[in-house]
């Protein structure tokens, strides 16, 4: 399958797709995860394949919130691990957050596979018995009671809208990373980051390091305006469309 | 994998994704094809998950062109077969066009698998030796000399931009079906149909039947304004974005 010519105008995008496809063969990424990635590709194209200024604002706010949290957790699924394991390790180190694996298409085998991908990149993964802490049908509600169950702040990159909504309903501050500003995930999030995950996580990590070096006392904001970040992303897309046929 | 609750707000979309995932396990759909489908899903969401008026115009024009052609060919890949085999059979019957299987990730095994999916749905698939008729590196250039090689009009749903450009460069009238109006495929096409494939093909077939019943002599237009169809699709997306946060 590695016969994509370097001359192809979408070479980088096709190679990332191929890497995810290889992770799908081993089971790290679910088949449905490949399709979800495609949705992300489309929206990344529309926001210009770079971090919009408004997304960087959201990333800086996310860093502040992770550092001000009592118990921050990074909830990682197959796609995020396949795309961004080194960036997760970097963010964990910069923020001190716990990392828990949480899969939409959950099997014990896939949990182990994703955990191994993360550990190979230097991530410290918390493990232990899970319970249905999140009020959702099926295995979607499973998580560690002392992990995501007990978190006040959860960063959930590439998360399902249902789960995002349920976590918000539990009173948690939910930070999402998702390229689609119209997705329920982004609409439900406390802080929706509309950016590509390998760009977003290092930006959050860099701001964590900057804030820590500055040594200020960080206070958790009392309210958040998620819609501001959505509107900014939609403006970025409208700008791309405006010049699409130039 | 069939544990998606019917209560999920994106149930239909998730079920289609799952069907494609099953076709990926057998090899009809390539892993990369799953990602491509995701890109399509995103743009379908943006055009409102219905046929825009301008797309229906393009579909009616496509019908006229298929019927006026000397040798029209429907070029079918794995995703199109997996999503729309019955609709391809219907369009073949209505238009009289030849059907040839043509894969981006081409292997003899996948050609056979896709051919079988089409035949099971009643499509008459043309087979025979292939040559590099299309000026492209690798197997991308292979097709039947007396099929796509000799066609004056080619309908290529969900096609790669490179191949679309090469076919146009050979002087053929190229009709595409692709949900992304910004994709090179759509920009290069003679007639870009910005619509979902299971909606687009029956619309073309219906217009073929109507034109045949009317019995008029169909003359091939001398020129085409592809940009008109792209601009209309972009307007439809802008409209969705405008109301996204209402």
CB B35, CB A34: distance < 8 Å? yes
* Distance of alpha carbon B153 from alpha carbon B168, whole angstroms: 10
DSSP-derived secondary structure letter, B125: B
User: How many angstroms separate the CA of residue B115 from the nearest CA in chain A?
Assistant: 21
Do strands B72-76 and B153-157 pair parallel, antiparallel, or not at all (unpaired)? parallel
Does any CB of chain A come closer than 8 Å to the CB of residue B38?
yes
Residue A89 has a pLDDT of: 98
* Distance of alpha carbon B43 from alpha carbon B27, whole angstroms: 25
Q: Which residues contact B223 (CB under 8 A, 6 or more apart)?
A: none
Contact at CB, B241 and A245, closer than 8 angstroms: no
* Distance of alpha carbon A141 from alpha carbon A132, whole angstroms: 5
Residue B138 has a pLDDT of: 76
Structure confidence by residue, pLDDT tens digits, B8-60: 777 777 778 888 888 988 999 988 889 899 999 999 999 999 999 999 999 99
CATH of A53-237, one of 3.30.450.90, 3.90.480.20, 3.20.20.70, 3.40.50.12640: 3.40.50.12640
* Cβ burial, residue B35 (10 Å; 0-12/13-18/19+): buried
Chain A partners within 8 Å of B31 (Cβ): 1, 17-18, 20-21, 24-25, 34
* Distance of alpha carbon B88 from alpha carbon B198, whole angstroms: 9
* Distance of alpha carbon B231 from alpha carbon B217, whole angstroms: 30
**Which residues of B131-228 form beta strands (DSSP E)?**
131-132, 142-143, 153-157, 173-177, 191-193
* Distance of alpha carbon A168 from alpha carbon B66, whole angstroms: 53
Mean pLDDT of A42-53: 94
| Token pair in block for residue B112 | 């056979």
Mark which residues 205-244 of B lie under 8 Å from A by CB: 227, 230-231, 234, 237-238, 240-241, 244
Do strands A98-101 and A125-126 pair parallel, antiparallel, or not at all (unpaired)? parallel
**Residue of chain A whose alpha carbon sits nearest to that of B42:** A39
Chain A partners within 8 Å of B25 (Cβ): 31
pLDDT in tens, chain B (246 residues): 456 778 777 777 777 888 888 898 899 998 888 989 999 999 999 999 999 999 999 999 999 999 999 999 999 999 999 999 999 999 999 999 999 999 988 899 999 999 999 999 999 999 999 999 899 887 888 999 999 999 999 999 999 899 999 999 999 999 999 999 999 999 999 999 999 999 999 999 999 999 999 998 899 999 999 999 999 999 999 999 988 888
Q: What is the ipTM of this complex?
A: 0.85
Q: Which residues contact A172 (CB under 8 A, 6 or more apart)?
A: A151, A152, A153, A154, A190
Phi and psi torsions of B173, nearest 5°: -85, 115
Phi and psi torsions of B103, nearest 5°: -115, 140
User: How many angstroms separate the CA of residue A42 from the nearest CA in chain B?
Assistant: 5
Structure confidence by residue, pLDDT tens digits, A107-152: 999 999 999 999 999 999 999 999 998 998 878 889 999 999 999 9
Phi and psi torsions of A229, nearest 5°: -70, -35
How far from B155 is each of A203, B50, B149, B161, CA to CA, in Å? 44, 21, 13, 14
* Residue ranges covered by each domain of chain A: 53-237
**Residue of chain A whose alpha carbon sits nearest to that of B242:** A234
Nearest CB among A21, A42, A162 relative to B31 is that of A21
Contact at CB, B38 and A43, closer than 8 angstroms: no
């Amino acid at each position: 399958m590695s016969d994509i010519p370097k001359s192809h105008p979408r070479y980088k995008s096709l190679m990332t797709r191929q890497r995810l496809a290889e992770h799908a063969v081993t089971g790290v990424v679910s088949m449905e995860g490949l399709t979800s990635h495609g949705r992300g590709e489309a929206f990344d194209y529309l926001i210009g394949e770079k971090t919009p200024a408004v997304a960087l604002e959201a990333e800086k706010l996310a860093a502040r919130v992770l550092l001000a949290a009592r118990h921050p957790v990074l909830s990682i699924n197959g796609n995020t691990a396949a795309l961004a394991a080194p960036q997760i390790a970097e963010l964990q180190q910069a923020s001190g957050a716990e990392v828990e694996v949480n899969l939409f298409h959950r099997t014990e085998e896939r949990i182990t596979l994703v955990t191994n991908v993360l550990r190979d990149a230097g991530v410290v993964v918390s493990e232990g018995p899970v319970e249905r802490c999140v009020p959702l049908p099926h295995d979607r509600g499973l998580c560690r009671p002392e992990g995501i169950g007990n978190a006040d702040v959860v960063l959930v990159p590439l998360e399902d809208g249902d789960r995002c909504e349920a976590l918000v309903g539990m009173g948690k501050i939910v930070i999402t990373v998702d390229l689609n500003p119209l997705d329920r995930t982004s609409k439900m999030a406390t802080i929706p980051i509309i950016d590509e995950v390998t760009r977003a996580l290092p930006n959050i990590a860099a701001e964590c390091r900057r804030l820590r070096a500055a040594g200020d006392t960080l206070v958790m904001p009392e309210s958040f305006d998620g819609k501001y970040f959505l509107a900014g992303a939609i403006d970025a897309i409208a700008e791309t469309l405006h010049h699409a046929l130039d």
